[in-house]
Amino acid sequence: MTATNEFGHLDTPLEASSSPALKFEVYARCSTTKARASKMHLPHYTAHTPMFMPVGTMGSIKGITTKQLEALDCHVILGNTYHLGSRPGPELLEKAGGLHKFMAWDRGLLTDSGGFQMVSLLKLANITEEGVEFENPHDGQKMMLTPEMSIGLQNAIGADIMMQLDDVVSSLTTGPRVEEAMWRSVRWLDRSIKAHKRPTEQNLFPIVQGGLDIELRTKSAQELVKRDSPGYAIGGLSGGEAKGSFWRMVSLSTDILPTNKPRYCMGVGYAEDLVVCSALGVDMYDCVFPTRTARFGNALVRTGSMSLKQGRYTSDLEPIDKDCDCPTCAKYTRAYLHTTATKETTGCHLITVHNIAFQMRLMLDIRQAIVEDRYPAFIREFMRIRFGKTVPMWIVDALKSVNVDLTVPDSSGYSAEPVADDFQKAPNTWTDE
């Protein structure tokens, strides 16, 4: 799988920006939605967007080698500063020449700042203006993470893209704490910029916060744009909030952030979210979902998620997806994967390979549809296969905001009926035959 020639006939970017360690070029825009297809030139690799970044928290993706990731055409993978700072630690990483060399990966790397642990490990954290004090889960020792320390760790890690330390609050939080966290994140960004020692080799992305408050999120985005960063992230979402609120905050953010710079929506990985958020103008995504769900025996397909643990696959000699060209689908049957899923590491490995391949193929298909200016038709076909006749209301509303109305029949006669469910409850089995 390779995306080498997907921009072959497009010689001149429509819009571009250039920073010391990042050049971003928009080569195609959807004429209906806010979607765009771009090249992001990083110190280690030129990534094509919209793109999905698999998560390798401690510098590795469970059961997958970097050679396999390269063969699956992953452009950028993500590591976590908090975990990497605890183990193997900055001293060893600096001695090894950075995380790229340590893990034998010569493509793009992005490191999260450790701020998300404020939510996921809140019972172990104490948040002050200075920073965040954690209890190290490896040895129980107290660990203070300040904006300066986060940047210092990330400079040692050497990722192409670093994230500022932000004051993360749950997306379900309301009241004064949300505004406090938003303004503190802006102050921490300024401290992070000052502490950044390798601006010609690494890019620092700020993170839009503000919870689900329109005014706060607007102000946050406006403040960050003043700093003229190489790219921007949309944070504080995908934390259990209603999807109707989620997409509105994403769209609000992309309306304010510069059109000539990359926009990264953090923690997003469900296929329908990738399709919708790309229509809303997002370029980059990450999520543990595709690899984590593989370890529970779940394979991703266009109709939803296939639970290979179920007895129905005991004697099924078909591949996960006959249209998938990944190594797993080329050689292994559902019956074999049913036998090994969740019981043997082999099964977890093989499903993980397929799930990463699924994400990479989906993003390639999204980019090609944008380049060929047929993204609205791609969206409709994706939703028809994914959901059938009943599509979650939030998706219908989000797409309608960018001029794609699923409730109006297309040339094939397909139209969707909105339903209140935020998520798909079971793989689609509807057919229009």
The residues annotated with a catalytic role in the active site are: 112, 286
- Distant-in-sequence, close-in-space partners of 424: CB < 8 Å, separation ≥ 6: 272, 304, 386, 387, 392
Could you write out the DSSP letters of every residue in 172-229? Answer: T--SHHHHHHHHHHHHHHHHHHHH-S-TTT-EEE-EE--TT-HHHHHHHHHHHHTT--
Spatial separation of the C-alpha atoms in residues 198 and 154, rounded to whole Å: 10
Q: Based on DSSP, count helices (H) and strands (E) in the chain, helices before strands.
A: 16, 20
| Assigned token pair, 393 | 């209301």
- Distant-in-sequence, close-in-space partners of 161: CB < 8 Å, separation ≥ 6: 22, 42, 76, 108, 109, 110, 111, 202, 203, 205, 231
Spatial separation of the C-alpha atoms in residues 126 and 58, rounded to whole Å: 23
Spatial separation of the C-alpha atoms in residues 373 and 371, rounded to whole Å: 5
What angle is formed at CA 78 by the lines to CA 73 and CA 82, rounded to 5 degrees?
165
State residue 304 phi and psi, 5-degree precision.
Answer: 145, -135
State residue 371 phi and psi, 5-degree precision.
Answer: -60, -40
Closest CA to 110 of 267, 291, 253, 226: 267
Answer for the pair 370, 362: CB distance below 8 angstroms, yes or no. Answer: no
